[in-house]
Amino acid sequence: MEKKPVLIILSFFAVYVFWGSTYLWNKMAVTELPPFMLASIRFSTASAIIFVIAVLSGKKLTITKKQLLNTVLAGFLFLAYGNGVFVWALKYVDSGFASLLASLQPLVLLLMMRFVQRKSLKIKSIIGVLLGLFGMYLLVSQKDLQMQEDSWIGILMIMSCIISWSAGSLFVAKADTPSNFFITTGYQMLSAGVILAIGSWAFDESWSEPLSWQLNTQIAIVCLILFG
């Protein structure tokens, strides 16, 4: 029990610093690399690392067919579409503005819980989401938001990613998935990596070797794999 406050603080630190930085890292990398290739490499490599750690920790990787199908669907909603298309959208909007749009996700999730699952919303949840949105606005608005050409395309696609991520959150809450979150994450990332690789092939993206990338891109990819 004594460690709980520390773990809570570390968890928030991971969300604010590591997850929050993924918008910048993705923007750094997508300026040079094709978006689906970038996301595929990120998740495929991360899944391999997770599986290696899981095996070394004595965890079993075997899951049922139903669990596999559920993790594949979750991987598509969360990572392949929810994140992969988000990275693609960064070609059209600034990372700061994209992070502001992403902060709408809790609000979208609450609305889906209300109108899809017919759950009543608590006033504290609504207030918390609105305060979070206001706080994100204050942070991002410290500098001018850079709007690029055809930015409406990026905005539209990011909104669809938010809906996909919210749908994934509702799905995994009731779906039969591996009890170990480490294993679940590994399979989600693996499936997303495969789906994104297929998407990259379908869109005829040009793949390149990591050693040929710029240093900033290499650093961004490493940060995305190890921390994001």
- At what angle are helices 105-115 and 123-140 packed, to 10 degrees? 150
Is 34 within the bounds of a domain? yes
Instruction: Report the alpha-carbon distance of residue 71 to residue 191 in Å, rounded.
Output: 8
Number of domains in the chain: 1
Largest Cα–Cα distance of the chain, in whole Å? 53
How many Å is the Cα radius of gyration of the chain?
Answer: 18
Q: Which residue has the tokens 């910048």?
A: 24
Angle between helices 20-30 and 215-226 (to 10 degrees): 140
- Alpha-carbon dihedral of residues 150, 151, 157, 158, nearest 10 degrees? 170
Are residues 106 and 35 in contact, defined by beta-carbon separation less than 8 angstroms? no
For the segment 4-21, what is each residue's pLDDT rounded down to a tens digit? Answer: 888 888 988 888 888 889
Q: Is residue 6 part of a domain?
A: no
Give the pLDDT score at 114: 80
Closest CA to 226 of 82, 58, 50: 50
Domain residues for the domain of 128 are 20-226
Q: What is the pLDDT of residues 184-225, one digit of tens each?
A: 999 999 999 999 999 999 999 999 999 999 999 999 999 999
Asked if residue 12 is part of any domain, the answer here is no
Could you say which residues of the chain have pLDDT below 70? 1-3, 136, 139-149
Full-model pTM: 0.85
User: From CA 115, how far away is CA 158, in angstroms rounded?
Assistant: 21
Name, in order, each residue with C-beta under 8 angstroms of 150's C-beta and a sequence gap of 6 or more: 92
Q: CB–CB of 217/28 below 8 Å?
A: yes
Q: Is 77 exposed, middle or buried (0-12, 13-18, 19+ CB in 10 A)?
A: buried
Please check whether residue 46 lies inside any domain of the structure.
Answer: yes
